Each structure stands twice: as C-alpha cells, then as structure tokens.
A and B are shown apart, each in its own frame.
Chain A
Amino acid sequence: MGTENVTQYNKRVRLAFLAVAIALPLQFYVVYTQGNLYPALFLPAFNSVLDNGEYMHLEIRKLYAVAGTGQRTEVSYKNVFNNLTEYHGRHTMDRLFVPQAGTEYATLDNKTKLWLYERLITITGEKEVVQFEIDYYDYSFDKKYPDTPVITPIKTIRVNLND
C-alpha cells in the first residue's frame, strides 16, 4: 500500500470509528426510550428493581385449561407456546390476551383460537376444553422471610373456546 493509499485508508477508518461513536449513543437512545429496534447493539438485562425497599413484588401468571366437565388444569406457558422460545411466549401471551373493555374476556381470531384449543387438548388430554384462563397474582416477599410470600390475586383473563 503506497503512502497516499495508506493515508486515504486511515481516513476512512477514522471516519468509521467516528460514525460508530455517534451512532451507538443514538441507537441506545432509541432502544432505551422506545425499545423497538433491530438490529441494535444493546445489551441490557435485568434493569428493573422489583423491590420497594420493604417488600419485593412479583407478578405471577398461572394458566388454566377448563375442560367441558368443569375440570380446571394448570398448564405452563412453555407448553402452550412450545413453538416459541420462553420469552417470546410471555410477550405473545401478554399481547394477545387483552380483555375487552369492561369485561375479563379476551377475544382471539379464529385461527389463533383453534390453535389454542388444539394445544390445550394435547396438553391436558381432555376431550373438550371450553375456556382458557390466566390468573394474575402479586407475590409480595418480606425481605426477612423470603420463602413465604404473601399472595394476592390481581385479576383473571378468560378466553372462551367453545363458541
């Protein structure tokens, strides 16, 4: 490489470093404020503090399939969303199962409802599943007694599967 080429090459490399040094904080700002960008070089993990100084609060979801006989069977979201990774499953669940205003019932499109029905039949082994329910609980942990949380029900979201 001749001296002039080297100088030109170095200039381009410096520019690349400068561009990245500007771009990285910008994409950090977009991801931090909107969280909706890919590809983005950002490695956040466990940013929140779920602890108010006195108690730790966790929101726990429990999923149930209600059979035609009335039998209520707990199912895991990992099983229900077995074609998605763990975190995709939780995101998808929170996004899809939103109750209609003033009710505790969420509605799904027919394809998703049929998929959910078949998943629950497979998981529970029941002949018929009429409803899918998600119970939300607040688990409050006293710092001194971490093994015995105080459990408070928050809400239930239901999806009718028999219509």
Chain B
Amino acid sequence: MTQDPSQLKGKSLPPPRETSGAEALKALVTGFATTLKHLGRRPITEQYPEEKRELPARSRARIILTRDPDGAERCVACYLCSAVCPVSCISMQSIEGQGGRRMAAWFRINFGRCIYCGLCEEACPTSAIQLTPDYEHCQRAILKSVYEKEDLLVDHCGKDPDYNFYRHAGVATEGLDKGRHEKEAPPVNVRSNMP
C-alpha cells in the first residue's frame, strides 16, 4: 500500500474517482477504435530531403548580422549577445570604427555550439543579430561551423526594416552631431546665460 503523499502534509485530496466497468470498457473500445481509424488515414510524415518545409519568418535557425537602412553595419559590439548566450558561442572584439562609431573588429559565432535559443536576438539593442529560418547549415568539419563576421554579415535589414540605432543614440558620430538625433534639442550653449 503506497502512502498518500497528501496525508503527509495534513491536507487530504479528493479520493480518486472510481471508474465503473462500463466506463472502463467504453474507454478501451474508444482507444482501440481511435488507433484502428488511424490505420486508414494518410500518414502525415514529411520526407525531409525530398520535401522541404517553408518555415515561418520568425523561426530560429542560422544567425545573421544585418545592416541598417543606410547600409552600415548595425552591430555596435556591445557584448550583450555574448553575455546572454547560455552556451558562450558568441565572441567578438569591439573597436572604434570610422566616424567614432563603435563596431566589431571581429565577430564569431560557433554554430557547433549554438543552440538556436534566440536570446542573442532578444538582447540585441540595435536589431543587428537576427535568427533566420535557414536551418540547413550542418558541416562535416567542425571549424566550418565557426562563422566569422564576413560569413554572418548580410546586405539587408532582416526582420526590422526601419531601425537605425545611431539616429537615436545621442552620441556624436560622423555626419550626425550632438542634437541632431531623434527627439533631441540643439546642444546647450554653456557660455550663454539665457535660459
């Protein structure tokens, strides 16, 4: 006789419902009928290499680095994706690029380790790193699974067609000085007493 765990806590659960013989028989018959019916149905198996399924745009597979609408690299090498990556498959080095922009000197994803969890995409503040539905990139040589920046970088905006981080950031970069970003007032003239 197994001990009812609910009694250990001093609380009693409702007693298990007794099943009558007729009910049990009905359940059995329903079960066998169901499986028997299945025999007549057409199998739903998709035969992978011959039939390839179109995955939804938001499916999580191969990772890309997108560009902003102006064609510049979106990645600012902020290290958030590598920090959040549960398997530590992302590594990078940030440097100061042209015009004072922070960018990745190198950016590496080891797809041999990647578990396609999508946390990097969620963490990315600039919509740079995105997962795509392209799931067919198995490699026989392990080093071929190590993608460098040039392998990851694409020439489009991915799923976020409009966002350009540097138009919002508020840091002065080449061609976009202080006070000219979205929702910014012109720089304060500290030598003036006028409010």
Does B associate with A? no
